[in-house]
Amino acid sequence: MASTDPTTMRSVLGHFPSGVTIVTGLVDGEPAGFTCQSFSSLSLDPPLVLILPGRGSSSWPRIEGTGRFVVNVLAQDQGNLSTQFAKSGTDKFAGVGWSPAPSGGPILDGATAWIDCTLHASHDGGDHLIVVGAVQDLATAELPPLVFHRGAYARTDAAL
Ligand SMILES: Cc1cc2nc3c(=O)[nH]c(=O)nc-3n(C[C@H](O)[C@H](O)[C@H](O)COP(=O)(O)O)c2cc1C
């Protein structure tokens, strides 16, 4: 049987291409956020989505404490933003424009879609949490999305 060590898991699972999101929130009036590839729609009625924050994230517990979050789906020219929001302990919002979602959480300028959520549930998921968001509002700017595949960012317009 093939090994299921973390390196093999990451390399094999990296073959599953996905979009990239930045999960944001407003914590005591200050914006917070982290890059999160693990996002999915879960249910249309009721409208629910899924994110999987790692147990090591320092931003998620702070955002979770507010009971609401915004999922920003990144556009294809936002690879740098994805990298910036993946660096723990840095001023991730330095030079980043945003506007408030109805919940007050940051909608990042240039994102192709945003989903404004309240925290619905959180379940154990090993070294990650399985977080369910109840969708309160959402919209799209219809821009080509950023794709992450085998550890690298890809543009979609190249494929079209
Ligand atoms: C492309 C990419 C995808 C990522 N996906 C996730 C994810 O799905 N869940 C997660 O918790 N962290 C993910 N991360 C790592 C977090 O962004 C990183 O651990 C986090 O930003 C650390 O900062 P924090 O301590 O402020 O939370 C990803 C990073 C990158 C670059």
Indicate which atom in ligand 1 lies nearest the CA of residue 38: 8
CA dist 34 and 10 (Å) reads 19
pLDDT at 101: 98
Share of the chain above pLDDT 90, in %: 94
The label of the residue with tokens 């154990």 reads 124
At 148, which amino acid appears?
A: F
Q: In what order do the strands lie in the sheet with 146-149?
A: 18-19, 146-149, 152-155
CA dist 51 and 97 (Å) reads 23
The Cβ of residue 148 has, within 10 Å, a number of other Cβ atoms equal to 19
pLDDT at 159: 53
Share of the chain above pLDDT 70, in %: 97
pLDDT at 155: 79
CA dist 15 and 89 (Å) reads 29
Before 46, cis peptide (omega within 30)? yes
Residue nearest to atom 3 of ligand 1 (CA): 37
Ligand 1 pocket residues where CB is under 6 Å = 20, 34-38, 52-54, 57-60, 82, 85-86, 88, 148
CATH, range 18-149: 2.30.110.10
pLDDT at 58: 98
What pTM was estimated for this model as a whole? 0.96
Cα 96 → chain centroid:
16
CA-based nearest residue to 105, from 157, 27, 45:
27
Q: What's the pLDDT tens digit per position in 64-115?
A: 999 999 999 999 999 999 999 999 999 999 999 999 999 999 999 999 999 9
pLDDT at 3: 85
pLDDT band, residue 18 (cuts 50/70/90): very high
CA dist 98 and 107 (Å) reads 5
